[in-house]
Structures are given as structure tokens and as C-alpha cells.
Structure 1
């Protein structure tokens, strides 16, 4: 988890909420007229004083992402946020009308906007306010970055940093609290490593929390001790570290605005028009943050939310209480928020949608829940026949499936090991036998060690597997050693999923992943090259086109939004990305170097790469612990009436088709 680079900090919120934009949103009515060519040639919108002319795109590869093989058209027309026409340029010019704006792609490639199949935008609202410790080469560099950040942190606030990797630094260890004390002996400091499983605190924080030699190691975690004593050295892991993270103060409204601005900027810079939060409730102030996002219209792109399972009942119950206590359950709040959704998808409120519930069936690659022991124990693990660990209880998963099966609440599960995946499949299969099959589309997130028989069962459930593919390069050699040669073919079997016809996606898991770039993730799944230069399970490489479908139409299908997103078809939202090169045509090794030139949400430019921006390549970090941690549950802030009303509207909207 890292802070945003300086190039990622421009604010689109004010532009998004402009009067002209609101006028366009408030006056959209649609009818559709088919033409003999088979394309929906026109989308006639109600007259509006604010209506903009159509825009015609041509002059480059326009890849529609329709069907199993690449399909190109000469031109695309956008009008009032939707795709009006795709096809021949002559037909596009006729459909667009005489006042149309014409955009020459000049050889660039136009594709559907990318869909974030597993990310943490709300959680990133926190992490992007912290010191960026990613890529530090040694402890002195880490301390220097912390000191610089401390100078900008107001007095009275905790100094927080994120992103260092112990195995990547010259010392091959975590810093100590004595070393953090050189940054400040009086102000509390916490720093998290890039995986979120480990961290270090200083003496001031230890005193604030009354930690000491008598503090026991909690179940599922531990504190490092100074050699020869019980005194705390400063490093904590797993549940011990999560408990420390949970003591962080909730964000203020001003901090929320700044964090959302930085996070959403990073998402659009990477071509994403639909973001996600796969675990609302990671922090105790997540609901107030989402309330602020909704009521202040802070997002330039859509956000799909899955509530963290342990927090989901609190989230939904808060909404139901509002509904029970008012004659008109949501009053004006619901009506006002729903009225501005431009594509008439009433599941969204001001670009936010509550889609389902997320479970954690295990932890990281090091703690993956396996059916058989690791071939080689992770560093520091001495347990014989170590199989990782289970996290969320099975009975909670079963109860949620029973409650939400055949509803509009999807179930997603963080499941890295094959035994974690097994627990999800067993529960889902039992529910399907009991209640019958519907359009539930359960999601296996990460699916790092997925057996062939389990892939068949995912298909039978009409499920999706979402691979955190960006970890193949930095983690592949390490994973191969952990799992052993007999099971290495289970690692991220994207091509097996493709051949079997299972819907599969790739994701970044940002900020817990290794890179925020879906193009970098695509490069990984196409090439499967590891740091040593080896190819990890060559037969599981996929074509570049299959990889691009994984971040467009497959992502839309995963979230039940394939009717409005994921392909370039007349009538769909004009969610677009313009790339410096066509990923399907370049050398596969060059996919990670492709630049996002523009990101457009419903026809409006939400990111344009500055002409002066240096050419950059995707970060290839040295980490080997890139999966997201079992998340902390921060201190819960009492929900205000405003929070509860907005949440009630969100829950009500999410129940609609």
C-alpha cells in the first residue's frame, strides 16, 4: 500500500460537479432506433439546453472487445455520455450530425474503459495520505522519507508510512522502534509493510497504547522481542499488527476529500472507469467516507462496493433501521441521489453501488489455506506440516449465501489456497442444491492455487475467478518454491479458465497489490515471466486479446453490468480509454509499457496524460508478499443521521435491477 505520487494529485471533483454537467445529467431521456446494418445507429436523448454535440472518434484502432476474436470498426460516435454509433466512418459522420466534434486518434487505440475487478479505493483514501515507503532500498532511506513526511504532518497527528519491504531492503529485516525513535521520540509512528501483514511502531506509540513486556502475543499474531528479554522490539505481525492499525483516528472530512481525490486520480490515470472497494469496513470510518463521497459527488468514475463480511450486518442493519423509522423510508435523500444517475442504472447513487458481501477465507500467499502442507515453509514458519490458516468462519459464509442467494447481493471470497477455495465452493454448491440456481455469479478473488476440478465447479456455479496477476513477475519464483512442482500448475490458471469458458478477470488489488496498473497485470498474465527469467507454467499464458477482455467485458460481467459496460456497442455507456498502442498488436513483452493517454467516463475526459509527462514503464517491485492482508477493523465512528440516511438509500438502490 503506497501513497500517491505527485502526478496523481489533481482534483476532478469540481469539474465533475459543474453546473453544465449536472444539467446534462438531469435532462437525459433515451429512446433507441435500430438500423439495417445491425448496429443501433441512434440514441435520441431528450432536448437539453446543456446538450453537447456528438463526438466522432476515428484514425486509430477501435477495438470493440465483442466476441472471442478481435473486432475493429472505423469510427465511434459518443453523444450525451453514451455510444451513439460504431461502424464505418461515413455512417458515423451521418449519425453524428453537422455540428459533431471530430477527434483524430492519430494511430492511438480506443478501447472500453477498464474495470477494476478487485481493488480498494475507499481503503486507499487512507493510505494515500501516508508517507510513501515503497521501493526504499535500506533503512536510512526509509527514515529519511518518514522525516520528510513528519515535517508535513500536523502536530498531534500520528506519523504513518506504508509500503516498505523487509526482504527488499539491504538489511533484510524490519526497522526497530529505536530506529523509528530517531524520526520522533515524542510523536507516535506506525509504518506498514507493503503486504499489510507486518509493521513497526515507535516508543511513543507503545506508551500511548500501553504496550510493554507484559503484552501477550494475540492468537494469530506476534510481537518481536528484544533478544534476551520480553521487551517489545517494535515489529508486530498479523493480528498483533491489525490491532495497532485499528487505533488510528478516523479521517476528517477534509482528509477524506484529499484522500478520495488522490485515489480516484490514480485509478483514472490507469484507464479505469469503474473502480471497486472489495471490503467496505476495513476501517471504522468507511461508512462516513462513503457518505461524503456520495453526498459531495467526489468521484469522476463508478465505484462498486462489497461490504466486509464482519461489517456487513452493521452496514445493512443501519440502513434498515432508517427504513423502519420513517414513513417514507429514505425521504428526499434517496430520491435526490437517485435522480442524478445518468445511465438510469438505479443501483448507483452518485456513482456508488453496494453490490455484495466479501469474505476472507485465508490471508496472504504465506498464510494461504491449503489442502496439503506447503512444499517449503514461508520464512519464519517452523510449524511442521504447515497448511496456512482459515480466517472468516464457515458458518458466517453459509448464512450469507443462504440469505442472499438469488438476490441482488453477490458473494465474493478472498481465497488464495485451494482449501480456502474449497470452503467457498462447498458452501455455494450446498446453497444451490437447496435453493436452485439463479444468476448469483459468486466471485473467487485471487484464486492463486486453483485446482482443475475446482475450476469446473466454478463454471457450474456460473462464477468468476479474479486473478491478482500482477504478482507473477515479482512473486512467481517464490510461489513455485512454496507450492512445489506437483502443484505449480494450479498457480493462476487463466488459460485453463479461458479454454473451459469460465468468466475470469485480472485485478490489481491496489493498494495491497504490487502495481495499480491493469496493463501491467495484463503483461503478467500474457507473458508469465518471473524475476529469474523463467516462465511460470507456460501453458497458462493467454493471448493479449483474452487479457484485455479480462479487464473490460469480463469485468463488466463479473459485476452484472455487461448490459451497459465492457464493449463498444451502440447504446452502452461511453466509458472509454485511449492507449498509446494497441495491446493486441504490440510485442507481448511491450504491453506493460503502453501509456494511458486519456480516460473518458460517459464521454467526458476525466484524465488526459500531459504532453510533457515522461514515458514511464510499469513498476516492477521486488516484493514477494503482494496479496492483501486480512484487513484491520478500525475504530468504529458513530454514524450520524446523515450517514444512516445515505446508507439506507444506497442499500435500497442496491436491491434494484
Structure 2
């Protein structure tokens, strides 16, 4: 039996496509969009007896599909000591000491989002700096980019790191002249030892709480689907428990299983086979409506801030690091994943890393043949060469980018370590648009703030959502409101092959939409700052409503 039809009117309805004119009304029945268009036509489609809701002229769009997220890490980060706006080492120390005093029984102190610019020239994070604030329990602080960790002596001991502990493939335990760990873990060393330790002490109840917190935080800002980019065994367990309990998730999640470079091809290929098997098991057990393991993720390089992103030319300090995944392993593992129907998500921040990423896609096409539904994507693309953009257009590869990563307030060190014309030519959104490359925008939370309205503000202005006094970074790159909204909604849905379900307000689509508390199409984009959604709806059901 059908449920009553609800007609939403007196609205500015963005359908999901920048080229489609705005509508004034739409109707919902049984969790699906019945029609969208002018009021008389929608009333006719809705039929007699439909409940009508006046939205007061508000902007309505498809729900935001978060293009790149780390759900459990976001949920956990929300309770950590926040350090993104800390201006000095002493300020970090003060916040850690305050947390320790406030929670004297806590077994450890965790922080997130410290910035590299708090250190002086030639200075690096050390355990001694943290020991001065908290020495009796482990302290583990994730960098803003989540590619390195700063830890105290107690944490090094808890992780079991000694002089004899080897560096993992693609990572480094930074050491002093005596061979002792300094308290700074780079790339896969942070993952293996820092995250590995935290995973070992977390309970299922902890992980379930982290996941729920992430869903709640996203729904509050209009996100109604997410692309999970660090999926693994722990994440799978948390999602399965939620599905077993509720039979659904708060919104759909498309997951990419994180592959770790082992330096052994057979080990890497076995991991791909494992992911394909788990994908099929999850689909058989739960269907694909709520959780879909869409593919795998390769982290090909590090980050520019730590001078670990793989570049074609050296950094200002002369560093020229190689990739985390060498081509001899990356190409055959990518081909195996592609042959298994697993989509490729390729973290590539430096221009040489994105070259490797496209070599991987091209090898998949050469070996496995062209495929219309292939959804290969490159993540971040902070500094990318023009020839790579042209190649992406030719190969049909999506650019998955995050406006929050070029908030001018977080770019000082990024620009300083490049030190040449590259410092002012990053994040070239306009070149991707001009070349016809599909764009999927997101936040990479918790490496960036998760709030969709602030992320949209940066996309529209190139200004800072963190420090309003900052000048914009390359404002010629900005999106029009319609372009940005498409890249926040339909773009990420297309990138994960879900564009026939959501990402549009059109007949037959899931009734998943957001009523915004500001209208960037008609008003100053600054009205978006620090706003939540007014109303978030998933499959026709209210998931969040702003309480005024």
C-alpha cells in the first residue's frame, strides 16, 4: 500500500545538473521522487490528497554526496583535542595539559589536525615537546593531513617502537643521530604503528560510537551519502553490526578498501582477491542499497606539507621522494583489481604521483579492455601537470578534490616547501572543468573540516572558512554556484556508479535531499559559513531538522 504523497512547493529546486533550470516544486511518495517541475505539473503528478509543504523560497538540492571521507576516523576525531587553529607548539602543549587535567583517568590523550607551520625553520615534531605537557600516558596527535603522527615517549613505548623497529614500506620512523625514534612517524609508519596501536586498544563499542557520531555530524550539514576511503576489517565490523541491528544505515556508503603496499606482489594480489570476496559476501548478506564495497584505494604518495608527495621536480629543500607504490607493484595490482570489478581510487597529491595513477588506469584499459562503466578516480590532485589533466579527460578519470584542502589558512607551509611557481598554481579546478574532466568534491574529513556549507563557500570564493581575514588563493579557479552544487551532489554519485539512485531530484530517484539554511545561488556565499542544513531527508524520511 502506498504512503501519502508529500508535495514541497515555494522552493528553488536545483535538480543536480548545472545546465538544468531551477524547479519550483517536487513531490515524494514511498521514499521516491514522483515529479519535479512547475507547481501545476507536480500537483497533477502528485494526485489528489497530497500534503503540501511550503518551503518559504528556500534552496533545495539533492543531498550532498561526500566525495571522500574516513567515517570512523571522523567520528573519533570529533572527541579528540582539536589543534587545527593552534598557532604554536606551546599552544598545543597547553591544550594537551588541559585535556589531561580535565580527564585524569583517561588512558591516553589524543589530538588531531596540528599544522606544520607551528614549527620554526628546520624544526620538527619531537616526543620531548609532548613529554613537557603530558608524560605519564601515551599522547598521539594526527597531523592535519593524517599522513603523519606526532607522539610522546609513552606512546613510542606503548607501540613497541625501539631502535630495532624497521621502517614499513612507504613510511619512516624519524630517528636522531643515535638511531632513537624522535616521536615523528611519517606515512605508513603512522598507519602501522600509530593507528595500529589505537585499533588494538579500541573496543567494538568504541568503533560503533565513532561511526554513529560521523553519521550524525554529516546529516547535520546536509550530507546524505558518503564515499568511504579507508575501509578495512575494523570498519567492516562496525558497518555490519549497524546493518545487523537496524537493517540499514543512516545514509548510503560507498566504500573503497585501503590497500597497503607490502613490497611483495603475491601478498598484494592476495589482498585484492580478499577484497573481492568480501565485497560479494557483503552484497549477498545485505544487498547494495546501504553499503557497497565499490573498489580499492591505493595511496601512491604522501603530502606536500611533509615533503612526502611525489613530485616531478624537487622541493625547495632538495627532497625528491619516490612513490609509496612503485610501478612494478602498482600496475599489476591495479589490473587485478580492475579485472575483479573493483574500482580504483588513487591518492595522488604530487604531479609525478598522478602520472603513475594514470599509468595504472591506462594499463587496466590495455589489459582488460575498455569498459563504459569504469569509474576510476584520482584523489586530491593538489599539484597536477596540464598534460595529466588532458590525459584524465581522454581516459574518463574523475578528479576527486577537496576545497577545504586549499583554504588559504592552511596553505602557508604548503606554499613554502614548494618555493617556486608551483606554490601559486595548485588545486586547478578551472582547468579540470575546461578540459571536461568529471569532478567529485568532498572534504577528506577529518583531514579537513567536515561541514558541507563551509566547503561549498571555499569552492565559490577561494577564501578561507577558518580565517576570514585571509586573501583568496587563486580566485580565478572558483566554481559558479550551479557548477559547485553539481560537483557536491551528482558528481560524487556518478563517481561511485550511484547516479541512477541519488544525486538528482528527478522522477524515480530516491527522495534524498537537503533544504539549505542559506542560498548561495542568490545570496552572498558568506551566508553559508558555519551553517547547518535546515532539513536533511533520506529516502523520504527526515534525518535532521534545524531547531530554531
- Select which of 356, 373, 380 maps to 1:446: 380
Tell me if 1:279 matches 2:220. no
Deviation at 1:97, TM superposition (A): 3.6
**Aligned residue for 1:364?**
303
- Equivalent pairs counted in the alignment come to 527
Tell me if 1:257 matches 2:200. no
Aligned ranges 1:52-131 → 2 under 5 Å: 52-68=3-19, 71-128=21-78, 130-131=80-81
**How large is the Cα RMSD of the aligned pairs?**
3.2
In 2, distance between residues paired with 1:90 and 1:101?
14
In 2, distance between residues paired with 1:388 and 1:170?
22
In 2, distance between residues paired with 1:583 and 1:364?
32
In 2, distance between residues paired with 1:315 and 1:430?
19
Deviation at 1:196, TM superposition (A): 2.7
**Aligned residue for 2:442?**
507
Deviation at 1:303, TM superposition (A): 0.7
In 2, distance between residues paired with 1:235 and 1:423?
28
TM-score, scaled relative to structure 1? 0.72
Tell me if 1:598 matches 2:540. no
Tell me if 1:143 matches 2:96. yes
- The answer as to whether partners of 2:516 and 2:533 remain within 8 angstroms in 1 is yes
1:377-409, Cα deviation, whole Å (9 max, x unpaired): 3xxxxxx3x223311232332123322436642
Quickly say closer, same or farther: Cα 1:78–1:162, change in 2 above 3 A.
same
Deviation at 1:419, TM superposition (A): 0.4
Quickly say closer, same or farther: Cα 1:179–1:494, change in 2 above 3 A.
closer
Aligned ranges 1:131-530 → 2 under 5 Å: 131-136=81-86, 138-147=91-100, 150-151=103-104, 153=106, 157-165=107-115, 167-168=117-118, 174=125, 176-177=127-128, 179-180=130-131, 183=134, 185=136, 187-211=137-161, 220-223=171-174, 225=176, 234-245=183-194, 246-248=196-198, 249=200, 251-281=202-232, 285-297=234-246, 299-310=249-260, 317-318=273-274, 337-338=286-287, 347-348=288-289, 351-365=290-304, 366-374=307-315, 376-377=316-317, 384=318, 386-405=319-338, 408-439=341-372, 440-472=374-406, 473-487=408-422, 490-513=425-448, 515-529=449-463
Quickly say closer, same or farther: Cα 1:426–1:233, change in 2 above 3 A.
closer
TM-score, scaled relative to structure 2? 0.86
In 2, distance between residues paired with 1:230 and 1:402?
39
Quickly say closer, same or farther: Cα 1:597–1:173, change in 2 above 3 A.
farther
In 1, distance between residues paired with 2:438 and 2:98?
42
Quickly say closer, same or farther: Cα 1:285–1:314, change in 2 above 3 A.
farther
Deviation at 1:464, TM superposition (A): 0.4
- SS of 1:285's partner is helix
In 2, distance between residues paired with 1:60 and 1:285?
42
Q: Unpaired segments of 5 or more residues in structure 1?
A: 1-46, 324-328, 339-346, 378-383, 612-657
1:270-316, Cα deviation, whole Å (9 max, x unpaired): 211111211213xx633322332332237301111001123886666
Deviation at 1:363, TM superposition (A): 0.7
**Aligned residue for 1:566?**
503
In 2, distance between residues paired with 1:214 and 1:398?
32
- The answer as to whether partners of 2:224 and 2:251 remain within 8 angstroms in 1 is yes
Quickly say closer, same or farther: Cα 1:394–1:231, change in 2 above 3 A.
closer
- The answer as to whether partners of 2:27 and 2:36 remain within 8 angstroms in 1 is yes
Quickly say closer, same or farther: Cα 1:476–1:188, change in 2 above 3 A.
closer
- The answer as to whether partners of 1:448 and 1:490 remain within 8 angstroms in 2 is no
Quickly say closer, same or farther: Cα 1:609–1:313, change in 2 above 3 A.
farther
Deviation at 1:435, TM superposition (A): 3.5
In 2, distance between residues paired with 1:79 and 1:555?
25
- SS of 2:68's partner is coil
In 1, distance between residues paired with 2:350 and 2:509?
37
In 2, distance between residues paired with 1:206 and 1:452?
43
1:529-551, Cα deviation, whole Å (9 max, x unpaired): 36774443343222121111110
Deviation at 1:468, TM superposition (A): 1.8
- The answer as to whether partners of 2:335 and 2:363 remain within 8 angstroms in 1 is no
- SS of 2:504's partner is coil
In 1, distance between residues paired with 2:51 and 2:416?
56
- SS of 1:290's partner is helix
- SS of 2:314's partner is coil
In 1, distance between residues paired with 2:512 and 2:22?
17
Quickly say closer, same or farther: Cα 1:468–1:101, change in 2 above 3 A.
same
- The answer as to whether partners of 2:230 and 2:256 remain within 8 angstroms in 1 is yes
Deviation at 1:103, TM superposition (A): 1.8
Instruction: Pick which of 393-402 and 504-513 moved more.
Output: 393-402
Quickly say closer, same or farther: Cα 1:487–1:164, change in 2 above 3 A.
closer
Deviation at 1:501, TM superposition (A): 1.6
Deviation at 1:173, TM superposition (A): 6.8
Quickly say closer, same or farther: Cα 1:238–1:488, change in 2 above 3 A.
closer
In 2, distance between residues paired with 1:206 and 1:449?
33
- The answer as to whether partners of 1:223 and 1:240 remain within 8 angstroms in 2 is no
- The answer as to whether partners of 2:501 and 2:510 remain within 8 angstroms in 1 is yes
- SS of 2:457's partner is helix
In 1, distance between residues paired with 2:274 and 2:173?
34
Quickly say closer, same or farther: Cα 1:253–1:101, change in 2 above 3 A.
farther
Instruction: Pick which of 296-305 and 259-268 moved more.
Output: 296-305
- SS of 1:247's partner is helix
In 2, distance between residues paired with 1:555 and 1:242?
26
In 2, distance between residues paired with 1:562 and 1:320?
22
1:318-369, Cα deviation, whole Å (9 max, x unpaired): 577799xxxxx96xx866633xxxxxxxx33xx1100011111111123221
